[in-house]
């Protein structure tokens, strides 16, 4: 176990905070950078409640190149970075592409410029299955072609991976793993941390739980005319705790120098696809709530079906998602009820 700290950027965000918990559980010391643009300082308390350890926290915007440089002067020993900090709303990226290119690309470059000065640095990049677009073959392996992104958000993930590849080519002491997430859902079983969408949720699960709690009128199901069994689109919904644990496995792979090359890519999914209607049915079962929904037209840019071939992650990371869709939806519902209680106490 390295006695040095691991930097987690975006560590107060949804996937970042769950990964911090998983890292601390494995005995890693963690330093979080977060600019709180899409998270709350309360998450730090949630992490501490779960693990009994409060990570060091720097409220810092990675778009400030000088601040990034100063950070690594303050923490000269840090050589392991898990990079979550980025904007991630597909729709917003179409409306405001430059915000996405600055916040998702410039920040990556500033981080890598500092890490490149170190004799050894290890970097884990938060990527997305969105790079595949609608894959020609299912399940999707890491060899599936990367397709022209449907959104600036998706493009920043593709460009981010290319930047990493080029950096690894020119610096063999720099090792990186890109993790292509499928659809992260759920919350920590203690309901101390979870997903905190700001405004109207874009993603399916938070919209479902906010509808069930009465915050939204009804769920709109975006299309039931897809060429699937029940006509609704299929995704690979992975419990955020399974996803978090995969990051620890990836870090261990880099620290133990088990990697086959200094740049590797892994799909992180369950390997199983579920349709929107199947998710609704599962949610109603685990929550005991009837979910009001109506079928509307397809959402622009949505693909028909995506689910992961998890062989490579199973074999090379020694990792497998072992929580079910029911587990994830149950944890999301438990978390939603906690959030609602807090909102009522605040008002």
The nearest distance, CB 52 to ligand WQD, in angstroms, is 29
Is residue 14 within 8 A of residue 206, CB to CB? The reply is: no
Q: Which stretch binds ligand WQD (CB under 6 A): 21-29, 111-119, 197-205, 318-326?
A: 197-205
- Closest distance between ligand WQD and the C-beta of residue 237, in Å? 8
How many whole angstroms separate alpha carbon 207 and alpha carbon 209? 6
Q: Where are the beta strands (DSSP E) in 119-250?
A: 121-128, 174-181, 183-185, 219-222, 234-235, 237-239
Smaller CB distance to ligand WQD: residue 35 or 155? Answer: 155
Under rule CB under 6 A, residue 38 binds ligand WQD:
no
Which ranges constitute the DSSP H helices of 232-295? 240-255, 276-287
Q: Say how far apart CA 107 and CA 198 lie, in whole Å.
A: 22
The residues in 234-293 that bind ligand WQD, with binding defined as CB under 6 A, are 235, 276
Find out whether 181 and 127 touch, Cβ atoms under 8 Å: yes
Residue 260 tokens read as 């086959």
Residue 35 · residue 10 · CB < 8 Å: no
Name the token pair of 204.
């399916």
Which of 302, 314, 316, 337 binds ligand WQD (CB under 6 A)? It is: 302
How near is the Cβ of 229 to ligand WQD at its closest, in Å? 14
**Dihedral sign, Cα of residue 309, residue 18, residue 291, residue 129:** negative
Cross-strand partners of 29:
5
CA geometry: angle 267, 209, 183, nearest 5 deg: 10
Kindly indicate which of the ranges 33-41, 60-68, 97-105, 218-226 contains the residues binding ligand WQD, using the contact rule CB under 6 A.
Answer: 218-226
Q: Is 66 helix (H, G, I), strand (E, B) or coil?
A: helix
| Site membership for ligand WQD, residue 221 (CB under 6 A) | yes
Structure tokens at 110: 């500033």
Q: Please, which residue, 47 or 306, has the CB nearer to ligand WQD?
A: 306
Under the binding rule (CB under 6 A), the answer on residue 203 touching ligand WQD is: yes
Q: Would you say the C-alpha torsion 299, 302, 304, 309 has a positive or negative sign?
A: negative
Which of 28, 110, 132, 153 is catalytic? The answer is 153
Of 158, 171, 190, 202, the one binding ligand WQD by CB under 6 A? 202
Q: Is 75 a catalytic residue?
A: no
Does residue number 212 form part of the binding site for ligand WQD (CB under 6 A)?
A: no
Between 78 and 328, whose beta carbon lies closer to ligand WQD? 328
> Is 88 a residue that touches ligand WQD (CB under 6 A)?
yes
CB nearer to ligand WQD: pick between 63 and 216: 216
Binding to ligand WQD (CB under 6 A) within 89-108 occurs at 90
Tell me whether residue 49 or residue 220 sits nearer to ligand WQD (CB atom): 220
The residue (of 77 and 326) whose beta carbon lies closer to ligand WQD is: 326
- Residue 163's alpha-carbon distances to 41, 104, 124, in angstroms, are 31, 12, 13
Q: Which residues are catalytic?
A: 153
Residues lying near ligand WQD in the complex (CB under 6 A): 88, 90, 128, 130, 183, 202-204, 207, 219-222, 233, 235, 276, 299, 302
């Amino acid at each position: 176990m390295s006695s040095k700290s691991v930097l987690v950027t975006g560590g107060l965000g949804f996937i970042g905070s769950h990964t911090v918990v998983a890292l601390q559980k494995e005995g890693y010391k963690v330093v979080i950078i977060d600019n709180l643009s899409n998270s709350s300082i309360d998450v730090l308390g949630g992490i501490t409640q779960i693990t009994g350890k409060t990570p060091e926290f720097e409220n810092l915007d990675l778009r400030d190149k000088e601040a990034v440089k100063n950070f690594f002067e303050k923490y000269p020993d840090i050589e392991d970075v898990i990079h979550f900090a980025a904007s991630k709303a597909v729709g917003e990226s179409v409306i405001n592409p430059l915000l996405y290119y600055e916040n998702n690309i410039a920040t990556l470059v500033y981080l890598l410029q500092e890490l490149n000065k170190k004799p050894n640095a290890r970097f884990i990049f938060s990527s997305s299955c969105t790079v595949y677009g609608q894959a020609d073959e299912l399940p999707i392996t890491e060899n599936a072609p990367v397709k022209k992104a449907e959104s600036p958000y998706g493009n920043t993930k593709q460009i981010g991976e290319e930047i990493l590849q080029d950096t690894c080519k020119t610096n063999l002491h720099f090792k990186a793993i890109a993790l292509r997430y499928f659809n992260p859902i759920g919350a920590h079983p203690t309901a101390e941390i979870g997903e905190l969408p700001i405004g109207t949720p874009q993603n399916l699960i938070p919209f479902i739980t906010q509808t069930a709690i009465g915050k939204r009128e009804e769920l709109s199901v975006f299309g039931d005319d897809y060429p699937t069994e029940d006509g609704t689109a299929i995704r690979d919904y992975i419990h955020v705790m399974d996803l978090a644990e995969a990051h620890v496995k990836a870090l261990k792979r880099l620290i133990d120098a088990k990697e086959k090359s200094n740049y590797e890519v892994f799909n992180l999914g369950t390997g199983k696809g579920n349709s929107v209607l199947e998710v609704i049915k599962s949610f109603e079962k685990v929550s005991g709530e009837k979910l009001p929904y109506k079928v509307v037209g397809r959402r622009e840019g949505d693909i028909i079906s995506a689910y992961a071939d998890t062989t490579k992650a199973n074999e090379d990371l020694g990792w497998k998602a072992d929580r079910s869709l029911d587990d994830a939806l149950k944890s999301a519902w438990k978390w939603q009820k906690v959030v609602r209680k807090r909102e009522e106490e605040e008002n």
